[in-house]
């Protein structure tokens, strides 16, 4: 759909001066967003059909980093996913003034680091959903889902040496829903810190704490988690598991 071409100078200034600092966009997200704006709205098009390989080649990033950047931009409301298929993605690209207007009322004057009050323009992926830190039973259901292994390094865990970790850090508005919490060892929890899960998996691989195959499997698990298809194991389900601990296994569901 054709739209009026915006003032490119104004758009660029709004990205640099307002959008990036207010949403604390990473360099990767800025590059990907700017490139998509360039090829959609600055050409008078509201939406854009593209593939991850095309986008990653264009911005000089690997396909995994590009895919995650697109996901973050969608989840933060800078892009709207209109279609996703093997042929590629169709996204609507929002301009800075549209994004900021959507969240201006509550964002202005808000404490930008307050996890309990994320800006309203952050979507449910980051800020809503059932709070799985709220009760012991809910926390246990996340531990049960990982079946006694650290989500990151696959080390066997004991109840005394495990904790829950936010995959998207709370400082980046990662929420307490089941798709953002994983069971992990204390060492991984401490070492991951504010890093992205992707970066942390790479570190584990470089340190030879994950093999080639384990890294590939963990990245698939991360994708499945991000898609909301790695569900917590509630008490009844957990009790039906055999006592002998097993390697974590993905549990894709229909939704
Ligand atoms: Zn670990």
pLDDT in tens, 51-74: 889 999 999 999 888 888 888 887
- Decide: helix, strand or coil at residue 237: helix
Neighbours of ion ligand 1 (CB under 5 A): 150, 152-153, 155, 185, 188
How many angstroms does the Cα of residue 15 sit away from the middle of ligand 1? 37
Please indicate whether residue 119 or residue 12 has the higher confidence score (pLDDT): 12
pLDDT at 205 over 90: yes
How many angstroms does the Cα of residue 225 sit away from the middle of ligand 1? 17
How many angstroms does the Cα of residue 184 sit away from the middle of ligand 1? 5
Tell me the per-residue pLDDT of 39-53, one tens digit each, with 9 for 90 and over. 999 999 999 998 889
Q: At what angle do helices 212-226 and 197-206 cross, to 10 degrees?
A: 170
Q: How far is Cα 143 from Cα 141, in angstroms, rounded to an integer?
A: 5
Among the ranges given (101-110, 156-165, 179-188), the one the predictor scored with the smallest mean pLDDT: 101-110
Please tell me the pTM assigned to this model: 0.50
Q: How far is Cα 96 from Cα 118, in angstroms, rounded to an integer?
A: 18
Q: What angle do CA 238, 165, 195 make, to 5 degrees?
A: 145
Nearest CA among 202, 233, 234, 232 for reference residue 218: 202
Q: How far is Cα 129 from Cα 175, in angstroms, rounded to an integer?
A: 8
How many angstroms does the Cα of residue 165 sit away from the middle of ligand 1? 10
Please indicate whether residue 140 or residue 194 has the higher confidence score (pLDDT): 140
Among the ranges given (77-81, 134-138, 152-156, 207-211), the one the predictor scored with the smallest mean pLDDT: 77-81
Q: How far is Cα 178 from Cα 139, in angstroms, rounded to an integer?
A: 9
């Amino acid at each position: 759909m054709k739209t009026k071409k915006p003032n490119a100078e104004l758009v660029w200034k709004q990205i640099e001066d307002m959008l990036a600092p207010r949403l604390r966009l990473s360099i990767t997200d800025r590059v990907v967003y700017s490139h998509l704006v360039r090829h959609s709205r600055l050409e008078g098009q509201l939406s854009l059909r593209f593939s991850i390989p095309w986008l990653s080649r264009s911005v000089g990033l690997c396909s995994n980093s590009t895919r995650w950047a697109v996901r973050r931009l969608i989840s933060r409301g800078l892009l709207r996913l209109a279609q996703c298929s093997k042929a590629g993605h169709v996204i609507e690209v929002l301009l800075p003034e549209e994004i900021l207007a959507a969240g201006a009322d509550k964002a202005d004057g808000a404490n930008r680091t307050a996890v309990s009050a994320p800006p309203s323009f952050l979507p449910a992926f980051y800020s809503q959903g059932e709070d799985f830190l709220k009760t012991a039973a809910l926390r246990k259901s996340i531990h049960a889902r990982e079946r006694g292994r650290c989500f990151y390094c696959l080390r066997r865990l004991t109840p005394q040496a495990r904790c829950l970790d936010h995959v998207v850090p709370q400082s980046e508005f990662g929420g307490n829903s089941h798709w953002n919490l994983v069971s992990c060892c204390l060492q991984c929890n401490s070492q991951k810190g504010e890093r992205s899960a992707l970066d942390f998996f790479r570190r584990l691989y470089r340190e030879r704490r994950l093999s080639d195959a384990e890294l590939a499997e963990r990245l698939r698990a991360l994708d499945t988690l991000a898609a909301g298809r790695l569900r917590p194991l509630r008490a009844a389900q957990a009790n039906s598991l055999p006592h002998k601990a097993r390697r974590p296994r993905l549990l894709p569901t229909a939704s």
